[in-house]
Structure 1
Amino acid sequence: MRIYSAALAACGVVALSALAVPAAHADETFGDTDITGVVVNSGDPVVLGTSARTVTVKVTATDPSGFEQINATLYHGSYTSQDSTVPATAACGPTTAATSTCTLTFTLTPGSAPADGSLAGAWSVSAYAIAADGDAEFLEKAAGFDLRRDTHVGVDAPDRVKWGRTLTVTGGVQNADWATGTYAAAAAGRPVQLQFRLKGCTTYTTLKTVNTAADGTVSATVRAFADGDYRWSYAGTPDTAPAVSKAEFVDVR
């Protein structure tokens, strides 16, 4: 009986080892191993600029016998047709704990993985846990997250203007270009808000919403009636991060 149990355990480990690669096409569970939670970047979207950054993923799993290994992979596309993958720098285990939360680290490298901006947007996480007794679980899509291109927003306005005169505030939106390692103009038609903060106040009020031009620039005119700060606020999209410009103070005389 002991030999039979050991053989089953070994079989379970071998089976899961085969599943923990892109050849698998379905979730698989052996025994009472259970992956109960997968959290990427503390639940926040991942924002990537023009240099490499690390991302953490916490995988929580339970099994009375503890674990030999817990691991995960980030990927873009469907599980059976991945066009970019990022493996963890190292797996977790072994551990005797019946409930284990494994913190895995991944390095995203612009120009490599991901290769370019077409890979921004929805990403997924596959995960597996191999228990000490040979039980195991593999999930094709244990979690999802948004990978967004970093955003820079600029602003420019005159230092001073006469009371009641027209004031023009310009600016521009740029997003990280992963293929070139630079920041490039945002696509045309992206809404950006012109906001104003009265001198001595802490909150901003939205004055106008305009769309980016083909070169990513924005411009709006308002009448100047009081001293204060102007800024541009970009809400972001599923594939680009939100951002606000610095404040530009205008003295009204």
Structure 2
Amino acid sequence: MRIRATVAAVSGALALSAFAVPAAQADDGRSWSPDSGFTATQPSAGEKSKRGFAAAQAAAAPKITSAVVNGGKPIPVGTKSKQTVPFTATATAEAGVGGVAAFIWIGSSVEDEDSFGFGPNGKSISCKVVSATTSTCKGTITLDPGLLINSDATWWRVGASAVTEEGEEFQHEALSKVRVQRFSKLTVNASPEPVKKGKTITVTGKLTRANWDTGTYKGYSAQAVKLQFKKKGATSYTTVKTVKTSSTGTLKTTVKASADGTWRYSFAGTPSTPAVSAKGDFVDVK
């Protein structure tokens, strides 16, 4: 689908729509365009040739000074539920800023047919006038896992579109970055329960992560995962050993039963996959 952002000034306030989906679709269903909803008035060629005028225009040019999505933290996305995250963006213009909103995208250029992105939820946007020339706006962006593929688990550029109080649109394609990750899950089971002191406990589990290509969770292979233990009455876990996941993401190891307590697996994460710890499994040692 071809996705675009619509930006318009209405009575000095910003009205930003969510990305719209035109009828025409690209072959892979993922191309997009951050087209604005209006045309800004540009100086004529004759005016541009006037050095003094050009210098004045450059000095007064509207500018987006910052845009941050999810506080700069990674965005883990699962396979079914849409993930909504906040953004903050600031812009300045001599005529005053009607509003500004962020979008995220990947690709070589926002104009490239192979690029893809998500834009602001129009109804979520609220703005605060910082000064006569500067405004900061907050809002949300929603990521749809149904539109993602596994290679999208990488850095995304954060851009922003804005509009002056006079209706002039301006944009910055890459103000910052944010990482999108494949959501992870981790399980644990320690048995037998109860167990005699000194006997062997077998601790199994599985590390999986979102597979956006298939819309399912798949085992994450060859990953180092810590086996941790929290003795009854303690407030924190201690790492006992490190275990690697199998080709299907499974975990299995053995330990000696020494005291009542809770066992869990803990994964530190990778650039494409967030850290996760299993819910602990308590074992009663007799």
TM-score range, shorter chain: 0.7 to 0.9
Deviation at 1:31, TM superposition (A): 2.6
Deviation at 1:174, TM superposition (A): 0.9
Query: Whose strand proportion is higher, 1 or 2?
Result: 1
Q: Of the candidates 139, 144, 154, which is equivalent to residue 104 of structure 1? A: 139
Amino acid at match of 1:86: F
Distance change in 2, residues 1:93/1:216 (3 Å): closer
Amino acid at match of 1:33: P
Amino acid at match of 2:60: G
1:18-37 equivalences under 5 Å are 31-37=60-66
Question: Is residue 2:186 matched to residue 1:153?
Answer: yes
Residue of structure 1 in register with 2:86 after alignment = 56
Distance change in 2, residues 1:211/1:38 (3 Å): same
Q: Deviations over 1:190-212 (max 9, x none)?
A: 11110000001110001111111
Q: Any unmatched runs of 5+ in structure 1?
A: 1-8, 13-28
Q: TM (normalized to structure 1)?
A: 0.80
Q: Deviations over 1:22-73 (max 9, x none)?
A: xxxxxxx773433222111122211111221222221111234212442332
Q: Of the candidates 224, 233, 251, which is equivalent to residue 200 of structure 1? A: 233
Residue of structure 1 in register with 2:107 after alignment = 77
Q: Of the candidates 151, 155, 180, which is equivalent to residue 214 of structure 2? A: 180
| TM-align CA RMSD | 2.5
Q: Of the candidates 37, 42, 46, which is equivalent to residue 11 of structure 1? A: 42
Q: TM (normalized to structure 2)?
A: 0.71
CA distance in 1, matches of 2:126, 2:186: 44
SS in 2 for 1:167: strand
CA distance in 1, matches of 2:140, 2:118: 10
Q: Any unmatched runs of 5+ in structure 2?
A: 1-39, 44-57
Distance change in 2, residues 1:83/1:210 (3 Å): farther
Number of matched pairs: 226
Question: Is residue 2:280 matched to residue 1:243?
Answer: no
Residue of structure 2 in register with 1:45 after alignment = 74
**Structure showing greater relative contact order (alpha-carbon pairs closer than 8 Å, 6 or more residues apart):** 1
Q: Is the 8 A contact 2:74 2:180 kept in 1?
A: yes
Q: Percent identity?
A: 39
